[in-house]
Structure 1
Amino acid sequence: MVAQQAVCTSGSRAVPAAVASRQQQRRRVGGMQARRQTARCAASIQFAKYQGLGNDFILVDNRHQAEPVISPEQAIKLCDRNFGIGGDGVIFALPPSDGTDYSMRIFNSDGSEPEMCGNGIRCLARFVADVDGSQPKQHKVHTLAGLIQPNLLADGQVCVDMGEPILKAADVPTTLQPTQGEAVVQQQLEVDGRTWLMTCVSMGNPHAITFGLADGTPIKVAELDLPRIGPMFEHNPVFPARTNTEFVEVLSPGHVRMHVWERGAGRTLACGTGACATVVAGVLEGKTERSCQVDLPGGPLHIEWREADNRIYMTGPAELVFSGSVTV
């Protein structure tokens, strides 16, 4: 006698009961996994938005784990000024490393990750102090550009020891040929049918600074079509890691006006590392003093390249705009 196998029906097709049971189990497990995945994808995070001279960032206290709690793709969405919070980047305060107080990482508004950000680190230092309720003090921050030390001043400004500039062409990096030792100073570069004089400096991230054209025409920042020419510099093959580009108008040896096209963020109202690189380039070209005010579209920064220790000190504001929670 042949044993009869119990069956269940699914639509018009007969399915063995054991098979149906396994299918139901898989559906239950799959449903739980989908719900868990949805929960992960729809996590709520606390944030605060800060700005330094209009260069604005979304700050996240990420000190409970070593990796950022959101992805570069999620950062792009959060930085969208119409459909997100809006910002030039997302900055994470991460656990300390190598004896520092905490670490810093940043995703630009295009999802790329720069080594450091001068305005951003001022905002980060202010953010951590606000979260911890601490008094003004110097912070030791680990970044992809090395140790950076912002000092919160009693007047609300933040003075940052930005370290020593890097001038060796290969380390900026750029393939432009050096003109002063290993440094690229006033080297010619053809862009948009014109020959620009470029000086290249790294502040842990690459910068290309120009004060004018090879024919002697100086920069007038009000006349620049930055959205058009900025990408031509950023993506020029002589800058293998792309570059931030500073266009500088000299008002006096102690006062310049600068507009910037930032790698990964485009036109911004301010760039702290760019202001530092600008003063280094100005000194190398004999155009500025070592202590100089740099006017950016968002306001002024004071930069000092100290001869005694070869370090650069940047002083400027960092202010809370608002805080809240967001689902990502």
Structure 2
Amino acid sequence: MPDLIVSFTKMEGAENDFIVVDNRFFHFTDAELQTLARRWCPRRRGVGADGVLALHPSTSNSAQGDAEDPASPTPSPDFRMRYVNADGSMATMCGNGARCLARFAADAGLGSPQQDYTRLTFETDAGRYTADVPDTPEAPVRLWVPEPSRYQARISPDTASTAGFDWHQVWSGTEHIVAFTDSEAALSEAPLETLAPPLRHDNAFAPEGTNVNLAAVLNEHTVRMRTYEKGVEAETAACGTGVLAVVAIALKQEQITPPATIHTPGGTFQSGPAADGAPPALWYLDGPARTVYQGTLAWTP
């Protein structure tokens, strides 16, 4: 069978980087997207990325979804997002990926144009989300999200005794655990690359596993954090759902007051409960979403 020439867009959100494919035209199956991710995401043998984002046509015409405010009607979704980690595993949600794919979709003409931004509603395996994409390419994209849930304080995974931290669990579109260090210096010095893998695979989080976050509260409005991402199996420059998890737990523990600014190695985010008015969802996540370049690759099944 001859090679298929696949056009793709490389995007990044706070250095969390992605290969973006418009699957309305290529019709890759999930299995093919998983193969594509394993083949193209390696840094020295492929394009290099933390995962693959695929824009699918919407599969639903219903006007309500899990990630929307149940009190307000919502439009039919503009597209469906599928996300595959670099190791080929499917993920329910990716906050940075969602913002990047929303900008990609807006650039492709999807969504509802407003005065100075485009609003998009889209489906994910974690529910339905809304994003506001500014007309200015450098401006941060706002992702409206449900309030993080399934909070559990001071969980007791098998590896906790060797970790030396109090771990807290929360769902922010995918699985996360969070611990806080005593200082910014302690956060920088923590051996996350050796600390995280046993926790990521701990039986307490089977079968999905969990992402692992360390954070330091700098003041009542500011947090610095690091994330080890499952599926990438390494520390990444940023993680959008990890930002949501850290803010949610810091608020639960009354360590911060919204609005919150979160610094990651790759960039800065703002997040927290929505302000007054009638927003599309209960929380928001603001952060960068940028097109890096476009290219083509030959695909052989």
- Give the TM-score normalised by the residue count of structure 1: 0.77
- In the alignment, which of 133, 153, 167 is matched to residue 152 of structure 1? 133
Query: 2:243 maps to what in 1?
Result: 275
Aligned residue for 2:203, secondary structure, equals coil
Query: 1:198 maps to what in 2?
Result: 167
Count matched residues. Answer: 270
2:97 maps to 1:131: no
Output the CA distance in 2 between the equivalents of 1:223 and 1:202: 27
Q: What amino acid is the match of 1:111?
A: G
Aligned residue for 1:86, secondary structure, equals coil
Query: 1:229 maps to what in 2?
Result: 195
Describe the shift of the 1:194–1:82 C-alpha distance in structure 2 as closer, same or farther (beyond 3 A). closer
Between stretches 217-226 and 274-283, larger displacement belongs to: 217-226
2:94–2:173 CA contact under 8 A, matched in 1: no
Query: 2:223 maps to what in 1?
Result: 256
Q: What amino acid is the match of 2:7?
A: Q
Q: CA deviation at 1:164?
A: 2.3
Query: 2:176 maps to what in 1?
Result: 207
Query: 1:9 maps to what in 2?
Result: none
2:145 maps to 1:162: yes
1:54–1:298 CA contact under 8 A, matched in 2: yes
% identical aligned pairs: 30
2:29 maps to 1:67: yes
Q: What amino acid is the match of 1:313?
A: Y
1:141–1:148 CA contact under 8 A, matched in 2: yes
Output the CA distance in 2 between the equivalents of 1:69 and 1:202: 26
Higher RCO (CA 8 Å, separation ≥ 6 residues): 2
Deviations 1:98-126 (A, max 9, x none): 23100000110111111010000111011
- In the alignment, which of 51, 62, 77 is matched to residue 39 of structure 2? 77
Query: 2:212 maps to what in 1?
Result: 245
2:14–2:238 CA contact under 8 A, matched in 1: yes
- Structure with higher Rg: it is 1
Q: CA deviation at 1:188?
A: 4.6
2:163–2:195 CA contact under 8 A, matched in 1: no
Deviations 1:174-212 (A, max 9, x none): xxxxxxxxx412335543624421111111211101114
Output the CA distance in 2 between the equivalents of 1:194 and 1:82: 32
Q: What amino acid is the match of 2:168?
A: T
Output the CA distance in 2 between the equivalents of 1:232 and 1:153: 40
1:302–1:316 CA contact under 8 A, matched in 2: yes
Describe the shift of the 1:307–1:188 C-alpha distance in structure 2 as closer, same or farther (beyond 3 A). farther
Aligned residue for 2:120, secondary structure, equals coil
The within-5 A match list for 1:102-113 is 102-113=79-90
2:21–2:52 CA contact under 8 A, matched in 1: yes
Deviations 1:20-59 (A, max 9, x none): xxxxxxxxxxxxxxxx3xx2xx322110000000000000
Q: CA deviation at 1:74?
A: 2.4
Output the CA distance in 2 between the equivalents of 1:68 and 1:157: 30
Q: What amino acid is the match of 1:252?
A: N
Query: 1:97 maps to what in 2?
Result: 59
Describe the shift of the 1:320–1:126 C-alpha distance in structure 2 as closer, same or farther (beyond 3 A). same
Q: What amino acid is the match of 1:255?
A: T
Query: 1:48 maps to what in 2?
Result: 9
Q: What amino acid is the match of 2:231?
A: G
Describe the shift of the 1:261–1:192 C-alpha distance in structure 2 as closer, same or farther (beyond 3 A). farther
Output the CA distance in 1 between the equivalents of 2:223 and 2:285: 15
1:290–1:306 CA contact under 8 A, matched in 2: no
1:93–1:105 CA contact under 8 A, matched in 2: yes
Describe the shift of the 1:77–1:66 C-alpha distance in structure 2 as closer, same or farther (beyond 3 A). closer
Query: 1:170 maps to what in 2?
Result: none
Deviations 1:152-172 (A, max 9, x none): 1244220010122122xxxxx
